[in-house]
């Protein structure tokens, strides 16, 4: 097992679309410096990203988590039965709401960087 691991999980049909915009790896997404920051605190920020051009432009909101607090790590273990990143938790929660008919945002991807299986960034 590698000490540091990264991955990106895509909803069906989105991997190729993001690749067309040059976003393939965790680093591509996390380090993408375009967009307008709409919210920030010590542990996360939210950026509005406009990808594509003209009438094919699409708007996304990227939330980046930095070095989660240990309470959040234990919270995921208690609530999901496993340690997962903040991004993975939001993905799971959004899908749980959609599965029971509650309208919310439709996540298209999330990424995470872990060290020995514990989130560093997502």
pLDDT for residue 1: 58
Quote the pTM value.
0.87
User: What sign does the dihedral 4-15-24-60 (CA atoms) show?
Assistant: negative
Q: At what angle do helices 86-99 and 70-80 cross, to 10 degrees?
A: 40
**Separation CA 11–CA 111 (nearest Å):** 12
For residues 13-33, average pLDDT: 96
**Separation CA 18–CA 52 (nearest Å):** 10
**Separation CA 74–CA 86 (nearest Å):** 11
Lowest-confidence range among 5-14, 37-46, 79-88?
Answer: 79-88
**So where are the chain's domains?**
4-121
* Span 47-103, pLDDT tens digits: 999 999 999 899 999 999 998 777 777 777 777 788 889 999 999 999 999 999 999
| Mean pLDDT across the chain | 92
pLDDT for residue 27: 97
């Amino acid at each position: 097992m590698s000490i540091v691991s990264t991955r990106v999980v895509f909803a069906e049909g989105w991997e190729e679309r993001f690749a067309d915009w040059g976003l393939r790896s965790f680093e591509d997404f996390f380090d993408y410096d375009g967009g307008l920051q709409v919210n920030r605190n010590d542990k996360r920020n939210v950026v509005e990203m406009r990808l594509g051009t003209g009438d094919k432009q699409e708007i996304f909101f990227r939330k980046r988590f930095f070095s989660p607090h240990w309470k959040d790590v234990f919270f995921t273990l208690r609530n999901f039965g496993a340690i997962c990143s903040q991004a993975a938790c939001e993905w799971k929660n959004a899908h749980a709401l959609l599965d029971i008919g509650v309208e919310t945002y439709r996540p298209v991807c999330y990424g995470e960087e872990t060290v020995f299986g514990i989130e560093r960034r997502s």
